[in-house]
Amino acid sequence: MKSAFFITGTDTNVGKTWTTIALMRCLQMQGLSAVGMKPVAAGCEWHDGILKNSDALLMQQYASVPLEYRQINPYAFEAAISPHLACGGVDVSVDVVSDGFTRLQQRADVVLVEGAGGWYSPMSGVLDNAGLAQALRLPVILVVGVRLGCINHARLTISAISQSDLLCAGWIAVQIDQAMPGFDGNLAYLREFIDAPLLGILPFSAAGDFELLAAKLSLPNWQKVDVNQKK
């Protein structure tokens, strides 16, 4: 059985991409093939005549199988602003993303689809992350950037995922503020009030040591998780 998950965050810049790569490496260490997909990305730069996103390039680098860039990131926009503004009126088609996702499923055991921003952040004028996850019918992994305000953001996001009738397959804590006071206390509170498995605690990292980060994750047998499973 193929597995796939939608990776969302409590906000932007909470470590979704590094967490996605760490998940890919952890799965690969378990003997599974894993690829990442970033359907919509803003803040892209020109490389070889096409716009490319640095996060999507990392996914391409760490994919278990060789993939063309557009297979990972079908919608790339140049302006480093919210995608619904950066797209300039371009229609982000759920059908295009879904078709690309289905093709990736044929290439790997596990596909990780990374959203843009938080759960309700817009990807275009009419589509947000929640809508895309619902359209793909994917269980969700929540990345919680542990910083001031994260408890409220995490509980609100978990509630929103539940209201979307999707399964939260787990959450991952990321220490994005190295000097945050009360980190352990905040983490303990989150563990008590998030009704989903804690899959790992990723320490602060100034550079992407994905082998180290992967070692901090503890994953179930995701080959047995139905991609159409709901809560």
Q: Give the residue numbers of the binding site for ATP.
A: 55, 114-117, 174-175, 203-205
By CB atoms closer than 10 A (0-12, 13-18, 19+), residue 194 is buried
Distance CA 205, CA 212 (A): 10
How many Å from the N-terminal Cα to the C-terminal Cα in the chain? 19
15-41 b/e with 16+ CB inside 10 Å = b? bbbbbbbbbbbbbbeeebebbbbbbbb
Mark the binding-site residues for Mg(2+), compressed into ranges: 17, 55, 114
Q: Which of 118, 122, 181, 128 is nearest to 154 (CA)?
A: 118
Catalytic residue flag (residue 16): no
Query: Which of 38, 52, 216, 230 does the annotation list as catalytic?
Result: 38
Distance CA 82, CA 116 (A): 9
Distance CA 56, CA 114 (A): 9
Q: For the chain, what is the total number of helices (H) and then of strands (E)?
A: 9, 10
By CB atoms closer than 10 A (0-12, 13-18, 19+), residue 72 is buried
Mark the binding-site residues, compressed into ranges: 17, 55, 114-117, 174-175, 203-205
**Phi and psi for 69 in degrees, rounded to 5?**
-55, -45
Active site residues: 38
